[in-house]
């Protein structure tokens, strides 16, 4: 039975179907992978969905040695540092966006970086092209990547994070332009990106999070941007500060028809005498999730908020320093009640005596969002010691370092994938949780997928992209 006021939405069409078979696929970036003897040249593994989900229907390995993919595998390129499977042209087959932040670009310098788009097809990777290129040495374009219809014209805008910068390639019909969204110190980290309709005007917006600590000064920001057609540029329309954030995710967690924004591994950065949106510092040290809820177009986004961590009633575990709760986020309406659920990873979570074994939580959406009127959550936790989940929780597995959702078996209900890049001495692996459940769960890795270079640390399982 559906909760009062909620209606089950129709299943979302898979936007990550790379081979056009009607099943969502998943892209696994392996920037630490060796290619052609070149350490950390990197590759992307597109794992096919099918009647048995992912891991049982084969996969495709894409590198810069793949025909039509620009460039050549070189040590330190880190091809696959960021990935996104998205249908750029609306033909029902996804393209693969790949960040290559270590790419050296002629006339632009060492580690200028780039983003490459690889076409999908029923017979394997299609034509590929460079869509964004760093403008200077160490620009490191491709540390993060996202795409959405930000202009409302039916064309996807491709957004990338680099060193102290976020830029967008805006595609309008046959024309395109590259514009800087934000340029500011970002502490040497990849800015977190997410897209959603946060102002409820019917068009996607862009969320960006970044922070620094002490150089040149301590600051932390989450900012929302929308397309300004009159000025042909992205315009900043909402901000929240003093929140150090590792991950962002958009979803309608209360089922009111308006997108909400989840801030993952939210913790205080600046030691200032102002309100900390991530909760008390002593609790936020282990990470937390802070939510800003959407409102009608004539309302104000983010006025209503919620904050939760492992000390919140209904969330299994205890908030401990280094847990990194919320370091990875993914969204889907797992139980089909018309309200999105949030998957949150905590790769630093200790399981028994195994430090950093990692875990992931499925947090249910409800009438008031992720917390009820009493401030309690409804959630379950999964790790490698959960009955039914393959493997054993071991020190340094970092289960929960990445998360993704998609309807991999095309049964109308989303499934969950969890990455564990520290598994098997950092060879890495990924876990399929059908419908978010441990029942029927399965693991796959470079070894089970017959990928090469099994003797080296691949850190397979981060990043992940699917939908």
d(Cα 14, Cα 25) in Å, to the nearest integer? 9
d(Cα 5, Cα 417) in Å, to the nearest integer? 30
Is 167 within 8 Å of 132 (Cβ atoms)? yes
Q: Is residue 209 part of a domain?
A: no
Of 118, 142, 166, the one marking the end of a domain is: 142
Q: What is the dihedral of CA 263, 431, 252, 409, to 10 degrees?
A: 160
Residues 286 and 429 in one domain: yes
d(Cα 448, Cα 281) in Å, to the nearest integer? 42
137, two tokens: 């040495």
pLDDT score at 14: 60
Of 123, 142, 161, the one marking the end of a domain is: 142
Residues 260 and 137 in one domain: no
Q: Is residue 368 part of a domain?
A: yes
Q: Is residue 173 part of a domain?
A: no
pLDDT score at 194: 98
Is 441 within 8 Å of 432 (Cβ atoms)? yes
- Mean pLDDT across 380-392: 97
Q: Is residue 3 part of a domain?
A: no
Handedness of CA 82, 138, 187, 226 (dihedral sign): negative
Side-chain-side CA neighbours of residue 316 (13 Å)? 17
Percent of the chain with pLDDT over 70: 93
pLDDT score at 342: 98
Residues 136 and 253 in one domain: no
Q: Is residue 35 part of a domain?
A: yes
d(Cα 244, Cα 221) in Å, to the nearest integer? 7
pLDDT score at 293: 96
pLDDT score at 363: 98
* Structural domain for 123, as ranges: 14-142
Residue 24, CA distances (Å) to 19, 106, 135, 165 in order: 9, 36, 34, 31
Which residue, among 263, 261, 365, has the nearest Cα to 309 in the 3D structure? 263
Verify cis geometry, omega within 30 degrees of 0, for the bond prior to 216.
yes
Band the pLDDT of 9: cuts 50, 70, 90: very low
d(Cα 300, Cα 448) in Å, to the nearest integer? 49
Residues 254 and 138 in one domain: no
DSSP H stretches of helix in 232-369: 281-284
pLDDT score at 124: 82
Q: What is the pLDDT of residues 145-199, one digit of tens each?
A: 999 999 988 889 999 999 999 999 998 777 889 999 999 999 999 999 999 999 9
Residues 246 and 138 in one domain: no
Verify cis geometry, omega within 30 degrees of 0, for the bond prior to 69.
no
Q: What is the pLDDT of residues 336-348, one digit of tens each?
A: 999 999 999 999 9
| 450 has a pLDDT exceeding 90 | yes
Q: What is the pLDDT of residues 313-330, one digit of tens each?
A: 999 999 998 999 999 999
Mean pLDDT, the chain, rounded, equals 91
Q: What is the pLDDT of residues 238-292, one digit of tens each?
A: 998 777 899 999 999 999 999 999 999 987 776 554 556 676 555 556 899 999 9
Q: What is the DSSP letter of 436?
A: G
- Using alpha carbons only, what angle is made at residue 305 by residues 11 and 83, rounded to the nearest 5 degrees? 50
Band the pLDDT of 10: cuts 50, 70, 90: very low
Pairing outcome for strands 341-346 and 359-363: antiparallel
Q: Is residue 232 part of a domain?
A: no
Residue 274, CA distances (Å) to 189, 212, 269 in order: 25, 18, 12
Classify each residue of 393-422 as buried b or exposed e, where b means 16 or more C-beta atoms within 10 Å of its C-beta: bbebbbbbbbbbbbbbbbeebbbbbbbbbb
Q: Is residue 407 part of a domain?
A: yes
| 12 has a pLDDT exceeding 60 | no
Q: Is residue 49 part of a domain?
A: yes
CATH of the domain at 457: 2.130.10.130
Of 99, 121, 142, the one marking the end of a domain is: 142
pLDDT score at 277: 66
d(Cα 285, Cα 277) in Å, to the nearest integer? 13
pLDDT score at 81: 98
Burial class (CB in 10 A: 0-12, 13-18, 19+), 355: middle
| 7 has a pLDDT exceeding 80 | no
Q: What is the pLDDT of residues 68-127, one digit of tens each?
A: 899 999 999 999 999 999 999 888 999 999 999 999 999 899 999 999 999 999 888 999
Q: What is the pLDDT of residues 453-462, one digit of tens each?
A: 777 789 999 9
244, two tokens: 């150090």
Is 98 within 8 Å of 85 (Cβ atoms)? no
pLDDT score at 291: 96
Residue 111, CA distances (Å) to 77, 82, 96, 101, 189 in order: 8, 15, 21, 6, 15
Residues 329 and 443 in one domain: yes
Q: What is the count of structural domains for the chain? A: 2
pLDDT score at 282: 54
Residues 293 and 413 in one domain: yes
pLDDT score at 3: 42
Residues 263 and 375 in one domain: yes
pLDDT score at 154: 86
Q: What is the pLDDT of residues 376-385, one digit of tens each?
A: 999 999 999 9
């Amino acid at each position: 039975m559906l909760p009062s006021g909620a209606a089950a939405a129709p299943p979302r069409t898979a936007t990550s179907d790379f081979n056009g078979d009607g099943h969502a696929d998943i892209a696994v970036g392996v920037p630490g992978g060796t290619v052609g003897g070149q350490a950390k040249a990197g590759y992307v593994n597109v794992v096919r969905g099918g009647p048995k989900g992912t891991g049982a229907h084969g996969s495709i390995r894409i590198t810069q040695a793949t025909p039509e993919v620009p460039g050549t595998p070189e040590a330190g390129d880190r091809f696959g540092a960021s990935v996104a499977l998205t249908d750029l042209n609306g033909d029902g087959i996804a393209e693969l966006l790949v960040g290559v932040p270590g790419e050296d670009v002629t006339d632009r310098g060492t580690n200028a970086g780039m983003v490459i788009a690889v076409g999908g097809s029923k017979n394997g990777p299609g034509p590929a092209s460079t869509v964004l290129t760093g403008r200077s040495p160490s620009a490191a374009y491709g540390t993060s990547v996202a795409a959405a219809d930000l202009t409302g014209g039916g064309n996807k805008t491709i957004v990338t994070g680099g060193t102290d910068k976020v830029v967008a390639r805006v595609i309008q019909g046959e024309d395109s332009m590259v514009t800087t969204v934000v340029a500011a110190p970002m502490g040497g980290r990849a800015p977190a990106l997410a897209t959603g309709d946060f102002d409820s005007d019917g068009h996607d917006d862009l969320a960006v999070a970044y922070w620094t600590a002490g150089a040149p000064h301590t600051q932390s920001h989450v900012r929302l941007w929308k397309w300004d057609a009159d000025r042909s540029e992205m315009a900043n329309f909402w901000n929240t500060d003093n929140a150090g954030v590792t991950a962002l995710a958009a979803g309608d967690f209360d089922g009111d028809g308006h997108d909400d924004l989840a801030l993952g591994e939210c913790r205080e950065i600046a030691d200032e005498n102002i309100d900390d949106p991530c909760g008390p510092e002593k609790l936020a040290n282990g990470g937390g999730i802070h939510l800003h809820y959407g409102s009608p177009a004539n309302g104000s986004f983010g006025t209503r908020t919620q904050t939760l961590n492992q000390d919140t009633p209904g969330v299994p575990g205890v908030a401990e320093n280094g847990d990194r709760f919320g370091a990875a986020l993914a969204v889907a309406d797992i139980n089909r009640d018309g309200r999105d659920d949030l998957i949150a990873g905590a790769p630093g979570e200790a399981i028994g005596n195994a430090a950093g074994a990692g875990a992931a939580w499925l947090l249910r959406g409800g009438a008031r969002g992720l917390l009820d009127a009493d401030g309690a959550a409804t959630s379950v936790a999964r790790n490698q010691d959960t009955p039914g989940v393959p493997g054993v929780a071991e020190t340094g597995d970092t289960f929960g370092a990445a998360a993704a959702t998609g309807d991999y078996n095309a049964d109308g209900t989303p499934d969950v994938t969890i990455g564990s890049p520290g598994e098997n001495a950092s060879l890495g692996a990924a876990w399929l949780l059908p419908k978010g459940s441990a029942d029927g769960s399965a693991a796959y890795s470079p070894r089970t997928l017959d990928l090469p270079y099994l003797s080296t640390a691949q850190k397979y399982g981060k990043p992940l992209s699917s939908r």
